[in-house]
Amino acid sequence: MKSESTPTRKAPTAPLKNEKSVNITIVGVGNEFRGDDGAGILAVRMLKEKVPADVRTAELAGDQSGLLELMRSSDALVIIDAVRSSAAAGTIFRVDASEDPMPEHFFSFSTHAFDSAHAVELARTLKLLPRRVIFYGIVGKEFSYSSGLTQEVTESVNLIQTNIQNEIKAALQREAPVEDDA
Alpha helix (H) residue ranges in 21-82: 39-48, 66-72
Q: Assess if residue 61 is contained within a domain.
A: yes
Q: Assess if residue 117 is contained within a domain.
A: yes
Percentage with pLDDT > 70 across the chain: 75
Q: What's the pLDDT tens digit per position in 117-176?
A: 878 888 888 888 898 999 999 999 988 887 789 999 999 999 999 999 998 888 777 422
Q: Assess if residue 7 is contained within a domain.
A: no
Q: Assess if residue 2 is contained within a domain.
A: no
Q: Are 119 and 67 in contact (CB under 8 A)?
A: yes
Q: Which residues, in sequence order, are CB contacts of 40 under 8 Å at separation 6+?
A: 27, 28, 29, 30, 59, 79, 80, 81, 82, 138
103: domain CATH number is 3.40.50.1450
pTM for this entry: 0.79
Domain assignment of residue 55, given as a range: 24-172
Q: Is the pLDDT of residue 108 over 60?
A: no
> What count of Cα atoms within 13 Å lies in the side-chain half-sphere of residue 14?
17
Q: Assess if residue 10 is contained within a domain.
A: no
**DSSP assignment, residue 98?**
T
Question: How many domains are there within the chain?
Answer: 1
Mean of all residue pLDDT scores within the chain: 80
